[in-house]
Amino acid sequence: MSIKARVEDAEVLWRQDRKEGAWAVALIAAAATSRKRYPRPTPDIKSFKSFIRDVLPTLMYGKPLQGAPNPCIIFDQTPIEDIIYEHLRCNLIQGLREVVWVNSCIKRPESRASACFEAYE
């Protein structure tokens, strides 16, 4: 299955209100894309987190930033790429924890982008 097909599947699941499945498939697509961008011998954790940092401007503003450093999002001293890797990717894909979803959505008025962070405890 191609990465594009995984993204399309995630979108279908999201529209069907199957958020956990959508996140799982989207994170698999992100992991596959990160591996293409950062091939071995780069460790999986480093390639995934680097990819998330690379795409933050697109996620936040709807497009890459030209000539500016990438933004850094930190929650309680933890970078967003660590949260996505450890609390979403690892726990969701590997089924390490029971999922309790907490919703937090942000819409930036000056941007077309909106972000919903759904985490579990």
DSSP 102: E
pTM: 0.75
**pLDDT of 53-106, one tens digit each?**
999 988 888 888 888 888 888 887 888 899 889 878 887 777 755 554 445 454
What is the C-alpha to C-alpha distance for residues 17 and 19, in angstroms, rounded to an integer? 5
Q: Which phi and psi angles does 64 have, rounded to 5°?
A: -65, 150
What are the boundaries of each domain within the chain? 3-120
Structure tokens at 57: 């401007």
**pLDDT of 1-44, one tens digit each?**
899 999 999 999 989 989 888 888 999 999 999 999 999 999 99
